[in-house]
Amino acid sequence: RAGARGAAMEPECRVLSIQSHVVRGYVGNKAATFPLQVLGFEVDTVNSVQFSNHTGYAHWKGQVLNSDELHELYEGLKLNKVNRYDYVLTGYTRDTSFLAMVVDIVQELKQQNSNLVYVCDPVMGDKWNGEGSMYVPKDLLPVYRDKVVPVADIITPNQFEADCWLSRKCFKMAAQVHVMDMLHAMGPETVVITSSDLQAPLGNDYLIALGSHRKTKADGTRITQRIRVESPKVDAVFVGTGDLFAAMLLAWTHKHPNNLKVACEKTVSAMQHVLQRTIKSAKVQAGEGNKPNSAQLELRMVQSKKDIENPEIIVKATVL
């Protein structure tokens, strides 16, 4: 009986996640590991930085991993022959040599496993009040564009980051669809623009995300599925949401490999559950009339376990 039960088990799926780590709170690996584990993945983490907390607080302390130290950790895995992965996930990086080392590792892992999927959240900058600004050094831009994007399979830029790569600004749906096509041409099969400037049909209180999945069939024909997702804006500044989004998109695209619509609906719906729970809790902690602080706005991750594992679909995607 035990044998029969074992035979029915899903094959192990292992993720190498190279991201930042905080002692307190949820960003980087702390935001990605728990949801991936809840959804059944084995997660091996390399902490690109180890900070006391995220940098939105008044104070933070900690250490930064350099490219030599990353290489050394990877060598240890290699020597023990435990460097076989199904996925690589990366997020915020400030250093060009570290990013170049990540690319080397991804390429080596892809030689071992041609089915490996690299999910890259290219954290470079964003728009505040309509004005875009980088929060990483500008010399990372060509490394992302010329080295990272071509080896990535799934990328999750916001509109500012996508515009930076392609040196253009896009304010219309047709132009943004063209941007996704251009990003496909650079390498990735799946492109999700996590937030855009487009006016949402549902109104100003909604944020638009766009997704595109392009598959080339055995006979050479291409199938492209494109979707639009409108999710309610939440009036607060959260940290770690992009890291959580990329991790859950990895999980749900794995479980629904040919249905980006369902994968995005589950990802965005779970995000909404987490954010609504977080803002509710933060307001209670802050007290009537007070603005919640960074500590109170930390994502309510553990409390959202059931929503992450089996999200009730509260945000629907539209097929374009």
Query: Using CA atoms, how far apart are residues 289 and 299, in angstroms rounded to an integer?
Result: 21
CA angle 257, 143, 267 (to 5 degrees): 30
What count of residues does the chain have?
Answer: 320
CA angle 282, 307, 248 (to 5 degrees): 100
Cα atoms in the 13 Å half-sphere on the side-chain side of 80: 7
pLDDT given for residue 226 in this prediction: 97
Annotated catalytic residue: which of 86, 95, 243, 307?
Answer: 243
- Residue 151, Cβ density class (10 Å: 0-12 exposed, 13-18 middle, ≥19 buried): middle
In angstroms, the Cα distances linking 274 to 127, 251, 281, 308 are 23, 16, 11, 8
Query: Using CA atoms, how far apart are residues 162 and 145, in angstroms rounded to an integer?
Result: 10
pLDDT given for residue 199 in this prediction: 85
Query: Using CA atoms, how far apart are residues 137 and 9, in angstroms rounded to an integer?
Result: 45
Looking at the chain, list the stretches that DSSP marks H as alpha helix, in order from N- to C-terminal side.
2-7, 28-38, 67-79, 96-112, 140-143, 149-151, 159-166, 173-186, 241-255, 260-286, 305-309
Classify residue 145 by its DSSP letter: I
Is 260 in a helix, a strand, or coil?
helix
pLDDT given for residue 133 in this prediction: 85
Token code pair at residue 161: 């980051």
pLDDT given for residue 276 in this prediction: 97
Judge whether 243 counts as a catalytic residue. yes
Q: Which residues of the chain have pLDDT under 70?
A: 1-9, 129, 170-171
Is 47 in a helix, a strand, or coil?
strand
CATH class of 14-155+238-286+296-319: alpha beta
What is the reported pTM?
0.94
Q: pLDDT tens digits for 256-306?
A: 999 999 999 999 999 999 999 999 999 999 999 999 999 999 999 999 999
pLDDT given for residue 247 in this prediction: 98
